[in-house]
């Protein structure tokens, strides 16, 4: 799994992720992985995914082919992922089935997005959440969220500092996350 975090504070946005990939009981550390960065840039923002390792290349390719997508707000992100869903099925052979009780087909991925418009989470049924302070995904998320909650209101901690602490804490306690990490920061757009 992974530990990926997003933080928004004092006009700054940070996204950070660990570097370990896990295949069952086997861990692929950054020192063995030529492409260990779990964050990629597209459409003016930074995306990171947890779930199947295939999601990373699939979403990068789908976003590259779809130039007219809008990631500027929660409704726009929902609409963009709604437009991407049939392409994921048709062009990339996504299997959209999860549980029989699910009301909608699944996109099978959990995504964090940091862009000048805010910090967002996109979940498997295309639910979109906009976070005000911070959030985390992956198997180390609970540890990361706890660490970020403790540090968020400290005046000496920037968004990047808090994101770094979140990922570091996830890597300490989660067996499926490890350092080094990648992080990016950007400014919040003027309202």
User: By C-alpha distance, which of 27, 4, 29 is closest to 15?
Assistant: 4
User: By C-alpha distance, which of 61, 108, 67 is closest to 85?
Assistant: 108
**Does position 99 have pLDDT exceeding 80, yes or no?**
no
Taking residues 82-93, what's their average pLDDT?
94
Per-residue pLDDT reduced to its tens digit, 114-139 = 999 999 999 998 999 999 999 999 99
Are the C-beta atoms of 128 and 119 separated by less than 8 Å?
no
Torsion-angle region of residue 140: left (phi > 0), alpha (psi -120 to 50) or beta?
alpha
CA separation (Å) from 69 to 44, 64, 100, 113, 164?
A: 11, 10, 30, 14, 30
More confident residue, 9 or 67: 9
Residue 23 has a pLDDT of 87
User: By C-alpha distance, which of 85, 80, 86, 50 is closest to 67?
Assistant: 80
Structure tokens at 4: 């990926």
Structure tokens at 25: 């009981």
Q: Are strands 182-187 and 12-17 parallel, antiparallel or unpaired?
A: antiparallel
Residue 120 has a pLDDT of 98
User: By C-alpha distance, which of 115, 163, 137, 128 is closest to 55?
Assistant: 137
User: What DSSP string describes 134-167?
Assistant: EEEESTTHHHHHHHHHHHTT-TT--HHHHHHHHH
Would you list the domain boundaries of the chain?
3-22+35-66+107-187
Beta bridge partners of 42: 45
Work out the end-to-end distance of the chain between its first and last CA atoms, rounded to an integer number of angstroms. 36
Residue 139 has a pLDDT of 96
- pTM equals 0.95
Residue 111 has a pLDDT of 97
Residues 6 or more apart whose CB falls under 8 angstroms from that of 56 comprise: 38, 40, 49
Question: Which range (49-53, 66-70, 95-99, 166-170) has the least confidence?
Answer: 95-99
Residue 98 has a pLDDT of 77
Residue 172 has a pLDDT of 98
Mean pLDDT of the chain: 95
CATH architecture of 3-22+35-66+107-187: 4-Layer Sandwich (3.60)
**Does position 87 have pLDDT exceeding 80, yes or no?**
yes
Are the C-beta atoms of 181 and 6 separated by less than 8 Å?
no
């Amino acid at each position: 799994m992974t530990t990926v975090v997003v933080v928004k504070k004092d006009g700054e946005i940070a996204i950070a992720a660990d570097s370990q990939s896990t295949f069952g009981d086997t861990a692929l550390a950054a020192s063995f992985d030529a492409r260990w960065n779990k964050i990629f840039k597209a459409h003016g923002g930074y995306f990171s995914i947890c779930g199947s390792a295939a999601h990373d290349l699939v979403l990068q390719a789908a976003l590259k082919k779809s130039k007219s997508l809008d990631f500027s707000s929660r409704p726009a992100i929902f609409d963009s992922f709604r437009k991407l869903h049939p392409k994921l099925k048709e062009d990339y052979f996504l299997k959209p089935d999860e549980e029989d009780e699910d009301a909608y087909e699944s996109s099978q991925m959990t995504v964090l997005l940091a862009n000048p418009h805010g910090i967002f989470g996109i979940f498997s049924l295309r639910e979109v959440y906009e976070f005000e302070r911070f959030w985390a995904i992956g198997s180390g998320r609970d540890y990361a969220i706890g660490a970020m909650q403790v540090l968020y209101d400290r005046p000496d901690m920037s968004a990047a500092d808090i994101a770094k602490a979140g990922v570091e804490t996830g890597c300490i306690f989660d067996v499926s996350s490890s350092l080094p990490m990648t992080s990016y920061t950007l400014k919040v757009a003027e309202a």
